[in-house]
Amino acid sequence: MVKLDSYAAKIENDGFVMIPYVFTEQLVTQLLQVVDQADTSGKTFRKSADLFAIRQFLKELPGAIGLIFNTDFKALIQDLFGKDYFIVKSIYFDKPEQSNWFVSYHQDLTISVDKKVELEGYGMWTVKQNQFAVQPPLEILKKIYTIRIHLDDTNENNGALKVIPGSHLKDIYRSEDIDWSIESEVSCNVPRGGIMIMKPLLMHSSSRTTSNHKRRVIHIEFCNQELHSDLKWIERINL
């Protein structure tokens, strides 16, 4: 319980925490086997020299759900977030060994929904691969937690996330407003089978790969908030 309390405090204060060895080597291997067997011809799959991604991962590959959400992992989620949380988004990322793909500092400000509706408090609409995304009211963003399950050892040489601790407490925070004289940067190195938990408002970036190692990650977002009655979470899955 002491560890859980320290994890929860670090998430709230710093905006993130790394927890090693949550998933066994056997489970990681099984998850990768599920991915390898996927039909990649669908609209939610994106493949290039720099990145392979599967949007709506848990819908596309439901065989992964039972592997990920075992009794221990569900208990961890409920102990850290609360028993009223549910899944709202899932993506699989594979940054290949020679990837030059990188993402500059940003916050995750959008959610995935079932359709576009002009509503007060919802804006910045986008559509990617027939999936609608919108920036919701800030109080919804503040209630979201992201868990990144690492399927490879990840460090600063193969695209580990870099974050600015505490930046999630500044609400909407633009990259051009970062004052590096007072901010610090942390590389979130996570071993294979470990997880990183973060708040979407945490400023984060991802560098190019400089080693010859893959970086495969399953990204899952959780929330306990209902949207406007005219909108639905497109990937809602109850735990």
**Residue pLDDT, tens place only, 179-201:** 999 999 999 999 999 999 999 99
Q: What is the pLDDT of residue 2?
A: 55
Over residues 23-80, the pLDDT tens digits come to 999 999 999 999 988 877 766 666 654 458 889 999 999 999 999 999 999 999 999 9
Q: In angstroms, rounded to a whole number, what is the distance separating the alpha carbons of residues 155 and 212?
A: 12
Question: Contact 109/129 with Cβ under 8 angstroms?
Answer: no
Q: Is the pLDDT of residue 100 over 70?
A: no
Q: What is the pLDDT of residue 159?
A: 83
The number of folded domains in the chain is 1
Over residues 79-88, the pLDDT tens digits come to 999 999 999 9
Angle between the N-to-C axes of helices 71-80 and 2-14, in degrees from 0 to 180, rounded to the nearest 10? 60
- Cβ-based neighbours of 143, under 8 Å, separated by 6 or more: 223, 224, 225
Over residues 6-24, the pLDDT tens digits come to 999 999 999 999 999 999 9
Range of the domain at 122: 2-238
Q: Alpha carbon 111 to chain centroid distance?
A: 12
Of 156, 155, 158, 144, the closest CA to residue 81 belongs to 144
Q: In angstroms, rounded to a whole number, what is the distance separating the alpha carbons of residues 106 and 104?
A: 6
Instruction: Kindly report the CATH number assigned to the domain that includes residue 40.
Output: 2.60.120.620
Per DSSP, 62 falls in state T
Q: In angstroms, rounded to a whole number, what is the distance separating the alpha carbons of residues 204 and 105?
A: 5
Task: Record the tokens describing residue 153, joined without a space.
Answer: 């050892």
Q: What is the pLDDT of residue 97?
A: 58
Q: Percent of the chain beyond pLDDT 90?
A: 77
Q: In Å, how far are 63, 92, 133, 163 from 60, measured between CA atoms?
A: 9, 10, 18, 29
Q: What integer best gives the mean pLDDT of the chain?
A: 91
Q: What is the pLDDT of residue 83?
A: 96
Q: Is the pLDDT of residue 164 over 90?
A: yes
Of 8, 7, 31, the closest CA to residue 19 belongs to 7
Band of pLDDT at residue 94, cut at 50, 70 and 90 = confident
